[in-house]
C-alpha cells in the first residue's frame, strides 16, 4: 500500500507528522515487507478491519446486552447477541462470554470463579506450554491460588499422564489448567478430566493458540473431551481482533463468570472489536476447515524443511508438530536471542523461547525459537513456499550470509503474498477514497 505522506506533512505540525510517519513505517514494514512467524499473532481480513474502525470504539457498555447501564447501545446489543450465537454454533457450546478483553482477562475471570486465596490449582508444565497467566508469576499468584505444576514427559513432549493422575488424586485441586502458549501436540484432556472430576475439580482449557484450529475441526474441541470451560484469545490461529472469550456448557459456571468479568475485571469491553470478531467467526464458519488444514500442513512441511536444511527441530520422533507451531533448538547457533535478532535483521520475525532443557535463568537468551505459520498461511503461503523460506533461513543462520542480502530476498519473496485468503472478498473499487482511509492503517 503506497501513501503519499507529503499530503500529511504539508498540513500537520512536525511532531504530529512524526506520529503519522512512524505508524505508516511500521505498517509498511510489518505488513508488506516481513515474514511474520510470531505464533501468537495474525491479521484480520479487510472486511473485519473496516468494521473494527467504527464509531463503536468511542462508546461505552457496562453490563450485558439489553441490561446495560448506559443508553445508546441498541445496535451494539444486536451485534453482541449475534456474536454469542454465532460462536456458540461454531464451537458447539451453549454459553459464550465475549466481554473479556484478552485471553489473560478470560483466565483471570475463570480462575477467580473456580478458586480463591489458599486454594490449589494444577497447571500444565511450563515445558508443555503453560502461559504466564497460569502461574504464580501471573494471575494465579495475584489471586493467591497456589500454583502446582503437573509432571512432564520429555519423550512425549507433553504432560506425563500416569504421574498426573496420581497427583490429581493426592492434591485434590480446585481446578486443573491445560492448553497454553508453546505446545506442539494436544494435551490429554479426556484422561485429566476424568481424574479431576473424581475429586470434584474443574478442568480449564486455555485455547488461545488453537482456537482457530478448533473452529476448523483440526484440533480436538476440549469441551467434547471433558473440559468444563474454555478460555481463549481471538487473534492467534483465530484471525480476529485482539480480545478474549470464555466458552462453557455449564450454566452455573457461565452465570458466575458473567458476574465476575464485569465488574471485577472489565468495565467497558472495547465494543469496536465485536463486529470484527463476528465477521471473523463467520469466516471461520465458511473457510475455517480449509484454513486450519493448510495451517497444519504448512507447519509440518516447514518443520521438515528446516530439519533438512540443518536446523535442530524439536519433535522429530512424533512428526514435529500437530499445531501451527514449530520449535527450534538454536543453542549451537548462538542462542534464541541472537538468532531471533539476526532473523529480524533480515525481515523474518520470530520470538526466542525457553526449551524444556533450559533453566528459568536462561530467559534472556534461551535455547529455543518459537515459530507459527498461521499468519503467513492467511497471506496465502503453501508448503513449497515454506520450504523456500527454510532455505533462506539456512543461508542466514547456518551459512551466515549477510543479513542485508537475505533481507532483499525476503522483501522480494514477500511481494508474492499480498492478499488475505480464507476470507470474504469485497470489491472496494467503487468506494470513495475518503471511505477507504481506515483500511490504509
Bridge partners (DSSP) listed for residue 245: 232
CA distance linking residue 173 with residue 199, whole number of Å: 8
Strands 312-313, 325-329: pairing is antiparallel
pLDDT of residue 441: 38
Map residue 35 onto helix, strand or coil. Answer: strand
**Which are the contacts of 164, defined by CB distance < 8 A and separation ≥ 6?**
122, 150, 151, 188, 191, 192, 195
**Which are the contacts of 217, defined by CB distance < 8 A and separation ≥ 6?**
288, 289, 292
The dihedral sign for the CA sequence 283, 285, 288, 290: negative
- Say what the pTM is: 0.94
The dihedral sign for the CA sequence 49, 415, 326, 189: positive
pLDDT in tens, the chain (441 residues): 567 888 888 899 999 999 999 999 999 999 999 999 999 999 999 999 999 999 999 999 999 999 999 999 999 999 999 999 999 999 999 999 999 999 999 999 999 999 999 999 999 988 778 898 999 999 999 999 999 999 999 999 999 999 999 999 999 999 999 998 998 999 999 999 999 999 999 999 999 999 999 999 999 999 999 999 999 999 999 999 999 999 999 999 999 999 999 999 999 999 999 999 999 999 999 999 999 999 999 999 999 999 999 999 999 999 999 999 999 999 999 999 999 999 999 999 999 999 988 988 888 999 999 999 999 999 999 999 999 999 999 999 999 999 999 999 999 999 999 999 999 987 766 655 455 544 443
CA distance linking residue 295 with residue 378, whole number of Å: 8
pLDDT of residue 9: 85
User: Phi and psi dihedrals of 170, rounded to 5?
Assistant: -80, -45
Sheet holding 202-206, edge to edge: 95-97, 244-248, 229-233, 202-206, 175-179, 120-123, 146-149
CA distance linking residue 139 with residue 129, whole number of Å: 16
- Per DSSP, 62 falls in state -
- Per DSSP, 365 falls in state S
Which grid coordinates belong to 30?
510489518
Domain 50-280, architecture per CATH: 3-Layer(aba) Sandwich (3.40)
Following CA atoms 290, 295, 300, 301 in sequence, which dihedral angle do they give, to the nearest 10 degrees? 80
Amino acid at each position: 500500500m503506497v501513501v503519499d505522506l507529503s499530503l500529511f506533512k504539508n498540513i500537520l505540525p512536525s511532531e504530529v507528522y512524526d506520529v503519522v510517519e512512524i505508524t505508516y513505517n511500521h505498517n509498511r514494514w510489518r505488513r508488506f515487507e516481513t515474514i511474520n512467524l510470531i505464533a501468537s499473532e495474525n491479521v484480520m481480513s479487510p472486511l473485519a478491519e473496516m468494521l473494527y474502525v467504527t464509531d463503536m470504539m468511542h462508546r461505552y457498555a457496562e453490563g450485558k446486552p439489553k441490561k446495560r447501564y448506559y443508553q445508546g447501545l441498541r445496535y451494539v446489543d444486536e451485534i453482541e447477541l449475534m456474536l454469542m450465537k454465532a460462536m456458540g454454533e461454531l464451537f458447539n457450546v451453549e454459553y459464550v462470554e465475549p466481554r473479556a478483553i484478552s485471553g489473560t482477562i478470560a483466565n483471570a475471570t475463570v480462575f477467580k470463579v473456580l478458586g480463591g486465596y489458599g486454594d490449589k490449582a494444577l497447571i500444565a508444565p511450563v515445558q508443555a506450554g503453560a502461559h504466564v497467566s497460569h502461574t504464580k508469576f501471573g494471575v494465579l499468584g495475584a489471586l493467591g491460588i497456589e500454583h502446582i505444576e503437573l509432571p512432564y514427559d520429555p519423550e512425549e513432549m507433553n504432560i506425563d499422564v500416569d504421574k498426573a493422575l496420581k497427583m490429581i488424586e493426592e492434591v485434590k485441586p480446585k481446578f486443573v489448567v491445560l492448553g497454553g502458549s508453546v505446545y506442539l501436540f494436544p494435551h490429554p484432556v479426556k484422561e485429566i478430566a476424568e481424574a479431576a472430576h473424581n475429586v470434584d475439580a474443574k478442568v480449564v482449557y486455555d485455547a488461545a493458540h488453537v482456537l482457530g484450529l478448533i473452529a476448523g475441526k483440526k484440533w480436538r474441541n476440549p469441551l467434547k473431551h471433558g473440559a468444563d470451560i474454555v478460555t481463549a484469545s481471538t487473534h492467534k490461529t483465530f484471525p480476529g481482533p485482539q480480545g478474549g472469550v470464555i466458552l462453557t456448557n455449564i450454566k452455573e459456571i457461565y452465570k458466575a463468570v458473567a458476574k465476575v468479568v464485569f465488574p471485577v475485571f472489565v468495565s467497558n469491553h472495547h465494543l469496536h472489536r465485536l463486529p470484527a470478531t463476528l465477521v471473523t467467526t463467520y469466516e471461520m464458519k465458511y473457510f475455517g476447515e480449509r484454513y486450519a488444514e493448510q495451517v497444519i500442513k504448512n507447519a509440518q512441511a516447514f518443520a521438515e524443511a528446516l530439519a533438512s536444511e540443518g536446523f535442530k527441530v524439536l519433535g522429530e520422533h512424533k512428526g514435529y508438530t500437530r499445531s501451527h507451531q514449530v520449535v527450534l533448538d538454536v543453542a549451537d547457533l548462538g542462542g534464541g536471542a541472537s538468532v531471533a535478532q539476526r532473523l529480524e535483521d533480515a525481515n523474518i520475525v520470530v520470538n526466542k523461547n525457553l526449551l524444556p532443557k533450559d533453566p528459568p535463568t536462561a530467559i534472556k537468551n534461551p535455547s529455543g525459537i518459537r515459530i507459527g505459520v498461521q499468519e503467513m498461511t492467511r497471506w496465502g503461503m503453501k508448503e513449497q513456499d515454506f520450504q523456500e523460506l527454510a532455505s533462506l533461513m539456512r543461508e542466514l543462520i547456518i551459512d551466515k550470509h549477510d543479513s542485508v542480502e537475505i533481507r532483499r530476498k525476503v522483501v522480494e519473496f514477500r511481494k508474492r503474498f499480498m492478499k488475505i485468503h480464507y476470507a470474504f472478498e469485497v470489491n472496494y473499487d467503487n468506494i470513495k477514497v475518503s471511505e477507504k482511509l481506515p483500511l490504509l492503517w
